[in-house]
Amino acid sequence: MDFDQITTFLMIAEKRNFTKAAESLHIAQSTITARIKGLEQQVGQQLFIRTNKEVSLTRAGELFYPFAERMKSLFETSMERIQMDGRFQNRLAIAGPSSIWNNRLTEYIMDYQKAHPEIALDLLAHTNEHTIQQVMDGTVDIGIVYSKPSHPAIACEVWEQDVFVLAGKDPGRAITVDSLNSSHFLFIDWGASFMNWFQAVAGPHFMPALQINQTALVIQYLMKGDLFGFVPKSFVSPLLQRGELQELTHHLGDMLPSFTMYCIYQKAKKEEEAIRLGLSMLQMT
């Protein structure tokens, strides 16, 4: 099993077409076919179902996919570390939701880079689950997440505490449980604590009409349309102060849940210089 086989497998899974995958990788389709045939022989299972219209993953392919992603990520990280040698003394990779890179960490990051030009910075926008997995794998040094991982090797500290507000552009709207079934409700999963509260209010099998998994997009949508949704107050405070968004009244209980963000890292790496400085930048030490 080699890196080219892994890359080819992931590209076919993305494109769902051997020809398009070959075009994206700039190789012949016969090479694509040979790589997958060799990979399937090593795995001992068929990884793709081929039809005239498209290609889809078999059950074995679905099981293999997340491990292929991790192998590719680990390989790319190792290459970055090798290429970094000689130019930088160290590398610090920080991952978290896309929203934190908009404004909230910019000043910290710029100050860190000026103070430590010998350390290469890699800032990554990932989902909560992906961030936790990459910290566990060691491809990310510090993660900012919405829920605590339970792995014994991962340290977890409270980074920021906030409260949720129900925000939108229509101050006359009073939100009820029935309002959540509206096409105007913009839903995002803010982690386990929020979901426990929300499912108690809306029911465990609630299906939103509009859902987004990128936190940075939530505010854009709330600003553009006749939409409303739950957001941490710190995310929208300047907009609330300027009257560009409104904090809506609601009948969803006496109090919305609190919002906690955690900083996670491998316990064994805490004293490594880049991570120690990174935690200091995030004001965790």
What tens digit of pLDDT does each residue of 159-190 get? Answer: 888 889 999 987 777 889 999 999 999 998 88
Q: Are residues 89 and 130 in the same domain?
A: yes
CA dihedral 15→17→18→22, nearest 10 degrees, is -40
Answer yes or no: pTM beyond 0.85.
no
Q: Rounded to an integer, what distance in angstroms lies between the CA atom of residue 260 and that of residue 19?
A: 46
CA atoms within a 13 Å half-sphere pointing along the CA-CB vector of 136: 12
Q: Which CATH number characterizes residue 219's domain?
A: 3.40.190.290
pLDDT of residue 46: 92
Q: Are residues 211 and 246 in the same domain?
A: yes
Q: Rounded to an integer, what distance in angstroms lies between the CA atom of residue 267 and that of residue 257?
A: 29
Q: Are residues 105 and 188 in the same domain?
A: no
Q: Are residues 96 and 61 in the same domain?
A: no
Q: How confident is the model at residue 95 (pLDDT cuts 50, 70, 90)?
A: very high
Q: Are residues 34 and 88 in the same domain?
A: no
Of the three residues 49, 75, 101, the one that is the final residue of a domain is 75
